[in-house]
Amino acid sequence: DGYSIYIDSNMELRNLTGLAGLQGNLPGGLSIDNNAKLVSLQGLQGITSLGKSTDDGTSIYISGNTELRNVHGLAGLPGDLLGLLWIENNAKLVSLQGLEGITSLGSSIDGYSIYIYNNAELRNLTG
């Protein structure tokens, strides 16, 4: 489906620090979905660019991570994202800090560039 990193439904996963050795460009998108105890994305800061999913055109998909508080681990992403930035249903997400290096976005196959929905603790889009 075109994702370089796909982390889904790991109910006991608390962190991504084991991925800290990843460096540079990834040709596909990043999907982090439904990891109930994941608190942060630390471990991904070595990624400097992402492509997008060939399935739907998404570059970053972060959804259903009920304990996720921030996206600081994506601070290594400067410049352009080729596809959609999709962040939804992360109940404790309070900040988008870590995404401030992104300067432009492509779009999904549906034409969306940013989709941010139902993140109950997110008070603003600072980041």
Q: What is the band of 85 on the pLDDT scale with cuts at 50, 70, 90?
A: very high
15: pLDDT strictly greater than 70: yes
Q: What is the band of 4 on the pLDDT scale with cuts at 50, 70, 90?
A: very high
127: pLDDT strictly greater than 70: no
124 Cβ neighbours under 8 A, 6+ residues apart? none
pLDDT, tens digit, for every residue of 27-54? Answer: 999 999 999 999 999 999 999 999 999 9
Q: What is the mean pLDDT of residues 51-63?
A: 96
Query: Is pTM beyond 0.85 here?
Result: yes
Q: How far apart are CA 103 and CA 84, in angstroms?
A: 13
What's the pLDDT at 126? 79
Q: What is the band of 106 on the pLDDT scale with cuts at 50, 70, 90?
A: very high
The closest alpha carbon to 40, from 98, 79, 89, 81, belongs to 98
Contact 47, 26 (CB under 8 A): yes
108: pLDDT strictly greater than 90: yes
